[in-house]
Amino acid sequence: MPAFDYDLFVIGGGSGGVRSGRLAASLGKKVAIAEEFRYGGTCVIRGCVPKKLYVYASQFSEHFEDAAGFGWTVGESTFDWKKLVAAKEQEITRLEGLYQKGLNNAGAEILHTRAELVGPNTVRLLDSGKTVTAERIVIAVGGHPTPHDALPGHEHCISSNEAFDLAELPKSILIAGGGYIAVEFANVFHGLGVETTLIYRGKEILSRFDHDLRRGLHVAMEEKGIRILCEDIIQSVALDADGKRVAHTMKHGDIVADQVMLALGRVPNTRGLGLEAAGVKTDERGAIIVDAFSRTSAPGIYALGDVTDRVQLTPVAIHEAMCFIETEYKNNPVSPDHDLIATAVFSQPEIGTVGLTEEEATRRFDELEVYRAEFRPMKATLSGRKEKMIMKLIVNAADRKVLGAHILGHDAGEMAQLLGISLKAGCTKDDFDRTMAVHPTAAEELVTMYSPSYRIRKGERV
* Rounded Cα–Cα distance for residues 39 and 19 (Å): 12
Neighbours of 253 (CB within 10 A): 8
CA distances from 44 to 48, 273, 323 (A): 6, 23, 22
Question: What stretch of H or E contains 136?
Answer: strand 130-139
* Cβ atoms of residues 6 and 132 within 8 Å: yes
Question: Which amino acid does the sequence have at 373?
Answer: A
Please, where are the H alpha helices in 124-274? 160-163, 180-191, 211-224
Q: Is 4 left (phi over 0), alpha (psi -120 to 50) or beta?
A: beta
* Rounded Cα–Cα distance for residues 281 and 442 (Å): 48
Give the three-class secondary structure for 36: coil
Q: Residue 167 contacts by C-beta under 8 Å, 6 or more apart in sequence?
A: none
> Diameter of the chain by CA atoms?
76
CA distances from 419 to 59, 62, 256, 402, 410 (A): 25, 28, 43, 10, 15
* Rounded Cα–Cα distance for residues 122 and 137 (Å): 9
* Cβ atoms of residues 416 and 343 within 8 Å: yes
**Can 439 be counted among the known catalytic residues?**
yes
Q: Cα-Cα-Cα-Cα dihedral of 24, 28, 34, 39, to 10°?
A: 70
Q: Is 120 left (phi over 0), alpha (psi -120 to 50) or beta?
A: beta
* Rounded Cα–Cα distance for residues 415 and 154 (Å): 39
Tell me the β-bridge partners of 8.
Answer: 31, 136
- Residues noted as catalytic: 439
